Each structure stands twice: as structure tokens, then as C-alpha cells.
Structure 1
Amino acid sequence: MDLVGITNANQCNQEQQTVSTAEDYNDNSSELYYSEESEDDDPTGFGLYGKITTAQLREALEESTAIAKDAVQPNKLEIFLHQNYGDHIVNLESTETIETSGFPYIIMFHSFNEHASELRCYTDMLYKSALQYGDDICFAITDFDNYEAVLNYRPRAETYWKRCKKLGFSKYRRPDIYAVDTDNHIYQFVGQLNADNLKQFSHQLMNDELYKSETIPKDDEEGFVRIGVASNFEQLVLKSDIDIFLVLYSSKCPCSRELMPILEEVGKLLQDEDIIVVKINAETNYLPLKYYAWYYPTILYIRRDDKNNLIEYSASTRSVTDIINFIARHATDDLLEYNRSGRHRFD
């Protein structure tokens, strides 16, 4: 190599060293890059254009280094999951909302961020399902506080969650487990929690067996109370242009059975109003998580112009008069036969 070549090579190496570390920059120096012909170019790669000082370049390099460091720094929970379960179980952050993503999820909620090691018996169960069904289902864990963020859902029974927080962490409190299919249907795992039942739950999700619906009865419109099932829930309730008095019941529940003749009488008295009385067996029909029945019977009033506001009937008595009073008070429009207090207008 000739003298000119050696000189050029040394100069090139010096320039590479100059732009490689922030410590080599002289903050008092003036323009580092500038070209009249290429003023819009970014020779630094940091989004700096035109006249650039070494102070600007130092700041950009330090910021980029800090961002890169944060981006690759896993938290303790992610390290725990990777060390014990590889890539079979993921952690869902509060910023991640489950939406239609082309594949289903099974999500376990507990206090994992602070107590992952103490809850390992539950993640071990999830891992066994993930080993068998992980190619088709995403298995994930997250904290109780992330219900609303992850599932895009706020539980109705807020006093229940406040009580859980007040009592504090307990490794004996079983996690809440939900399956989310590709149509964004959300199902809660119920029954005894063990590895075999969780595998069965995973199998049902993968084979679309969780969506339960009774057949729509042929005589549905003949009585004073409409019969809802999973198949007609959207049309009957969610898309209804009139108010809905909705009862979620269980055929095994004595209180539900006692309520049925009362419902018929209420439906008869309101047959000329813009209100539909609907009953759904919540044990044998899938319902969106928002309408999950925490107990039976769960009674809700849904106004036609505010479907997201579920007004829950919480009175201890459920007589015909009590229910009429409740409906009259919350109805979108004044009833024809009753005033807002539930008193008959023509008494």
C-alpha cells in the first residue's frame, strides 16, 4: 500500500472511532456534519439534520443507549417465566389488551408480579397445558389489577375486588382463569382447578366447545317473558331498540325457580309498555363476560340508549310490586300504566 493509501486508511479509522463513543466528543466544537447539497440527509442515524454539533450528537447517542438498555431489560417475572417455562408462558402487561389476534388465549390472573415463586403450583398447571396445546393457544399470566386493561372489562361486583385487595395476598386464593377465542368470546374456567381440568378447558377452547347455546324455542314469542339463548342474545338484547329487563337464572337454583311465575306476572302487566322481559339460563348458554352471573338469579335493567350501563336489581325482596317499582324508576320513558314511583296512574 502506498503512502497516500496508508494515510487515508488511518484517517478513516480515526473518523470511525470519533463517532463510536460519546466520551470522544468535544462539546465546544462547532459543526460536525453539514452539506449544502444534502441538508435533508441524516448521516448520524439519530434524526439530526443540517448543522450538527458534537453536543447534539452526544445527547442523541446517550438517549439511544438508554432506550436500548431499557428495551432489552426483562423484569423479574419475565426472567422467572423464561427460566422455568421457556417461551411457553408469557406475561401480559397492563397495556396489552386482548383483541382478535388470529389465535386464542388462556389467561391466569393472580398477584404474579410480586409473588410468582409462591404461586408456582398454578403456573406449573398452566405449563402442562401449554406443553400440549402451546402451538395453537397462547398461555399467559397477569395480575388481578389488569382485568380491565387486558380483557377490556371492569367487573360489576367492584366490592368483591375491593375486599380481595383489603384482605391482601394469599397463595391459597385460586387464580381466575379465562379463555378468549378468536371471535373475542370470553369464558371463565369453573370447577375444580387441577392440571387435568385445565387441559380439558384448553381442549374445549381449541375445538370451539366452550360456546354453549340452547336452541331457540318455537313458542318463544307466545308468552309474556321472552326466552333468551346464546344464539339470539345479540339480536334480542344487544340490538334491541326498547328497554330490557333481563334475568339470568339457573334451573338448579331454588330462588330462580321461585322467581319464574313472578316474572310471568310482571311481563303480563308490562305487555303494552316498550319493555321486554327476558330470561336466560346462564348455566347452559354462553354470555359475554360483561353479563357474567356472579350469583343466581342476577337481574339487570338495560336501557335502549345506554347498553353499557347495566342497572342491577339488588333488593332483598322480589315481589311483583317490587319489580314494577324498580322498572318504573329506571325505564327510559315514563310507563303508560305506572308513574316513576311504581304507583298505578289510574288508582
Structure 2
Amino acid sequence: MRAIVVLAACLASILASGDVLELTDSNWEDSIKTHEIALVKFYAPWCGHCKRLAPEFDKAAIKLKANDPPVSLIKVDCTTEKETCGKFDVKGFPTLKIFRHGAAAQDYDGPRDADGIVKYMRGQSGPSAKELKTQAEFDKFTGGDESVVIGFFEGESKLKDSFLKVADTERDRFAFGYTTNKDIIKKAGYSDDVVVYNPKKLHNKFDPNEFKYDGNYDTDKIKQFLVHETVGLAGIRTQGNLFQFEKKPLAIVYYNVDYIKDPKGSNYWRNRVLKVAQEYKRKVHFAVSNKEEFSSEIEQNGLGERKDSDKPIVVILTDEGKFPMDNEFSIDNLKAHVEEVISGNLEPHMKSEPVPEEQGDLKVAVGKNFKELILDSDKDVLIEFYAPWCGHCKQLAPKYEELATKLAKEDVIIAKMDATANDVPPLFEVRGFPTIFWLPKNNKKNPMSYNSGREVKDFIKFIAEHSTDGLKGYDKAGKKKKTEL
């Protein structure tokens, strides 16, 4: 009887807190083991990162509650539930962990937006590809509000083997299902095929509702198909699927995209983007994104002054830079802006510090002089991207200055750039500080990440080994050459 009372109290506590379940020290042990798979957020109410994650966590919980099998999203307040948080060695907030049947299985290292959380956790639950044995199961799997990947196989085949291998490696990114039921296969009209089904909310007259893979059983080709050929002419770009929108030129149209609260308004603007996109197939890529979700990106792309506009705002990203559209959104204006960009008639938007009036041995690159100083120079270049507040950058600074002084007479540029005050060119991927790249003078389009030591001798050894024409004062091993008498 006591066990029933305890269980009832646990359930009452859980149900009272909505789609995200809130557990405490008193009910943790009894409750966590009832969940086949759960994502637990250990947080503190005062934590800024926790506050930003909270609405995304809430939205993800709604979708994952209906998953098959259900995925529970749970939160634990570490300012009050210190026993539970201490048990899992929580030292920072938020800390996210995946639990299976009550046991901590792994740390969560996936996206922090709702769509990304949903995709990642769906990939962690059940088999990597769900077998759809009945028409009802098939209809339920393909009738949700997310795109799904379906394999149709009447028997054993090489394509099926490859499909299951892809599902194992890509389960964090896509939802996979397959069927061998002949009636389902006949009704669908596919056989030994891989097909991506888009949800009804995204159906339009410009794209097919289903994307069929036409390649062989090569797993890499199947992955490329899923990543690059299934979003349509103007896909819904979120923080969770950025990997599907890496091809350039990419025209991003920001507005209040929300297919839950405002599907009609979302489609109204997207259809206008699609009308332009159909004229530039494989020449320019298009996407629509939610303005609130990408507010910081909007600022970075030179559209900060227009982010409160009632109409969509646009930027086109190319290998040369960012091209925000100044004119008010319309089909004609969007098309005209695309034409201007691909014709090379516009200068890219550039966040930049003033160009230094004088340069020392250590060159200072900024947004406005980067092309001339770094990319167009006839010398090899070592470039450091740093942040003024970065402790590691501060430790490196005197050594980097010394390096520049020692190599001042060599055919190499030693340069630095404040990546917080200047736009980093698209050619470089900078995710932390300091990040250092090597650019040979004859191949500036393929920068090499510098991952060696950070003492002056380490830099010299690397540069001596990789310099295009060799160094005058050092041999290939980085040893100082003897001066002839």
C-alpha cells in the first residue's frame, strides 16, 4: 500500500509540471527508472545559459513525448536538489545527460535548439531504423511533422544493407524507417528504393512531396543525397540542420517562420521565395529561417537595423562574403538582388576595424584589408584569429610578436586578426581562440590549420618545413643557418 502511495505521489509531481518533467531528491530514484530513455537537464534558475535553453527544451519535450518509443525530457533544479546533482557530479549549468532505464548512459553533446534536440534524441531511441510492418505503422511514421527517410525492400538487397548502415551513422540527423510489406510497397509505388517523405505542412507546388534516391548502394552517395537533395528549393533552415545548408551561394530569407502557430503566414512568404528559387536551380541555393532563432546571425550578416521589419529580410552568403539586401522584400527585389550578387556587381558587407595607418613586423589584419594583406599577397602567411578577452591568446601574444620579429626579413607574413571586431572570411572556420592557419602563397584558397606547439621554435620549425621557397635564415628542420664568414 505504501508503495502505491509513493508511486501516486511521484506521478502527481511529474504530471503537474507539464511536458518537461521536474524531479526532486525525494522522487528521483523511483521515477527515473520508469523511463526507457530520458534526457535530463541539471540546471540553476539564475543561469543565463539555462534560461536560453528552457524554451527550446520545452518545445522539444512536446514532440518527443509523442515519439515511438517516447523520450522523456526531465529537469532537476540543482539549487534545491543537491543530493541528486551531487550524485552525477554536476559542476556547471546546464549539464545534460542521457539516461536509459534509470542509469546514466552518456553525456548529451547534441544541439541546444528544439529541432536539434528532437532529431538527436530520436536518433538515440529504439533501433536506428524502425521496421514498419503494417499500413497503420507506415501512415503514422510518415504522417508526422518531420521529414522521414523510408526504405522499401521486398527482399534482401545491397541497397538495404547500405540503408541500414547509413541509418546507424546518421540516426542523430534523420528519422529512418523501412518496410518489406508487399502491400505497403505496392501502394507506395516503390521497390528497392530509398525515399524521403516531407510533412504535409511543407508541401508546395514547386517541390515534390517525396524525394527519391536514384543512386546505387554506395553509402556515401546515400548520405550526400540525404544532406543536400531533400530540403527542396527553399528548405526550412534551423539551428539543428545547418549541415544541410552549407552549399553556396546561399540566399537566406529571415521572417517569423512558425509552422505550429502560423502555418499560413509561414507558407505565404516561403512560396514567394520558392517562386524565385525555381529560376536558379543548382546555381543559387535558398533557405528560410526564423528571425528570432537566428537573431545573432542577423546582426552578424549586417541586417541588425532591419530585424524588426514586418517583411522578410535577406542575406546572400558566398565564398566572397555576405550580401545583405537593402530593399524591402518582394519577389522582384529578391530576384534583382540575386542577379546583382552572382554578377559580381556588389561589394560584400564587412564588419571591420579601421585599417591600421602603420604596420610593424606583426601585421594586423582587419575586415577591410584582409583581401589585400592576406589573400592577394605574394607571400606565405601565418594568420592568428584571436579574441581580446581570451586567456590563451594573451599568453601567446608575446611569443607571436617575437616570431614576427625573428621572421621579419623572410618571405612570410605573420599576422593576427581580432575575430570579435572583424568579419572572419568564409574561407576560415573559427570556433575557438586562438585559431591559427597557414596559407601557402600559391594556394590561398586552401588554408591549413596550425595544430603544432605554441613556442617560437615550434612556429619556426613548422614554417621552415612548409614555406613555399624555404627560409633564408633557417633550414627545413627549423635550425638557424650558420652565417658564412
Normalising by structure 2, report the TM-score: 0.36
Q: Which has the higher helix share?
A: 1
- Decide which structure has the larger Cα Rg and report it: 1
Normalising by structure 1, report the TM-score: 0.48
